[in-house]
Amino acid sequence: MDVLFACRGAWDTPDRSGDPVDLHDHGLQTAALLRRSHPFDKELQVAGLVHDLGHLLFPGDDAGHADHAAAALRPLLGARVARLVRLHVPAKRYLAAVEPERTLSPQSALTLRAQGGVMGEAEVGAFAADPDGEAAVILRQADDAGKVVGLDAGEMEDWRPVLELVAARAYERTA
């Protein structure tokens, strides 16, 4: 929770030239969208809440932020949350390939190239076959939509019970 609270006033780019909301509001908005669309998938919701923590942990590393976050989160929140967090960048690349008319935020369009660019045909096939691919696309769509200045998406503290539930389940799987 301390790391999530530290996202208030932290941005996806060190110079604040990126997305229009801080990591705190972006995580809350993304998670709230996922709660509405997938109310029973707590791991997906939590992945939405924490997916951009890599920007806080390693400022300026757009290409590696998802991998950094996934590595940090896996021991606490489990393999699926970490995998969805890691896949939210490939999901952007996938969507850019299969929906080329889809509009990205200016910052997402800018970082797409650093993150590997639009997927090629073989990558698209592999991603589409991934068992977590569909959930990663859902996370990515919420990620893209969760960048609204002034939107009240609730309080971070409201997510504590959900985080505790997901963490307890992850612990049970490894115990």
Tokens of 48: 């939405």
**C-alpha–C-alpha distance, residues 92 and 140, integer Å:** 6
Q: Convert the pLDDT of each residue in 6-63 to its tens digit.
A: 999 999 888 888 889 999 999 999 999 999 999 999 999 999 999 999 999 999 999 9
Tokens of 138: 């859902």
The average pLDDT across 97-112 equals: 90
Residue 104: pLDDT band by 50, 70, 90 thresholds? confident
Nearest Cα residue to 54 out of 73, 69, 70 = 69
> pTM of the full predicted structure?
0.95
> Is residue 175's pLDDT more than 90?
no
**C-alpha–C-alpha distance, residues 74 and 66, integer Å:** 12
The average pLDDT across 62-78 equals: 97
